[in-house]
Amino acid sequence: MNPYIEILRVGNAVMALIAVVLMAIIGKTFSFGIVLGAISVFLATGAGNTINDYCDYEIDKINKPDRPIPSGKIKLEHALYYSLILFVIATILGFFISFENGVTVIICSLLMIVYAYDFKQRCLIGNVTVALLTGLTFVYGGLITRDVNLGIFLGFFAFLMTLSREIIKDTEDVEGDLEEDARTLPIVYGSRNAVMLAVVLNILTCLLSPVLYIYNVFSVVYLVIVLVADIIFIYSAVLALKNQEKENMHRVSKLMKIGMFVAFISFAVGSII
């Protein structure tokens, strides 16, 4: 894969893009603005991932040496310029949609930059920032479909799921973070306690998931599909509680990503059927 594509972490960028598409499906609103919105979210997320890798160069030499920058596929300064160009393009596309969308892209871009430079190494603040950014993608889509309240509602669930997964990812990366004197949640309070908080968030998400059916946001089909996501989240929680070793945390993180994807599918199908 081309390193300039790889550094975007296409999987993560597509997950962010899906939020905008979901808002279009749920609101039955399909327009050129949705296309621009999906592209701008993809580019902004890719830019955020790139600037994050730029700032994490030393950590990634330990945690993820195969990534484009530590492996030497992309020069450090080139990654910085690349990310800034992507941020600018994403912002321009946002303003093409509406003033509100353009401002939202600017806010999210600044959050991603500050996260990469500072927040990531702060206890829980970095995790909350990433979760907030994930939730804001739904709000961004809601601004396009003129259904901001629903965007906030779904964004809240995305926030909970993402916050839990980010804590798990920090537990996976403890070794490299210690080398950089990072003050992540598992470093400050211990991996076991960090995992406990992630598990609580998982359970809370599962307990609240029926609310979207109870308040007639989605049909009963949503309940059936989201149950699969809930099972994945609970299974992930059990695995995480049993073993906090790096390899297992990596497995749990991947499972939770699958669970989030299934939850997003339940949003879409539950709004159609």
Which range has the worst mean pLDDT, 101-115, 138-152, 173-187?
173-187
How much is the average pLDDT of 190-202? 90
Q: Is the dihedral of CA 128, 129, 133, 134 positive or negative?
A: negative
Q: According to the model, what pLDDT value does residue 180 have?
A: 66
> For residues 268 and 170, what is the distance between their CA atoms, to the nearest angstrom?
30
Q: According to the model, what pLDDT value does residue 112 have?
A: 93
Q: Which CATH number covers residue 52? A: 1.10.357.140
pLDDT at 254 over 70: yes
- pLDDT tens digit sequence for 68-120: 888 778 788 888 999 999 999 999 999 999 999 999 999 999 999 999 888 87
pLDDT at 140 over 90: yes
CA distances in angstroms from 182 to 121, 126, 247, listed in the order given: 5, 11, 20
Q: Please report which confidence band the pLDDT of residue 268 belongs to, taking 50, 70 and 90 as the band edges.
A: confident
Q: Please report which confidence band the pLDDT of residue 61 belongs to, taking 50, 70 and 90 as the band edges.
A: confident
Give the pair of three-digit tokens for residue 13.
């960028």
Q: Higher pLDDT residue, 215 or 140?
A: 140
Q: According to the model, what pLDDT value does residue 133 have?
A: 93
> For residues 165 and 163, what is the distance between their CA atoms, to the nearest angstrom?
6
- Which amino acid, 183? R
Q: According to the model, what pLDDT value does residue 131 have?
A: 94
- pLDDT tens digit sequence for 212-253: 888 888 889 999 999 999 999 999 989 988 888 888 888 989
Domain that holds residue 116: 3-272
Count of domains in the chain? Answer: 1
Query: Is the Cβ–Cβ distance between 226 and 211 less than 8 Å?
Result: no
Give the global pTM.
Answer: 0.88
Query: Is the Cβ–Cβ distance between 7 and 74 less than 8 Å?
Result: yes
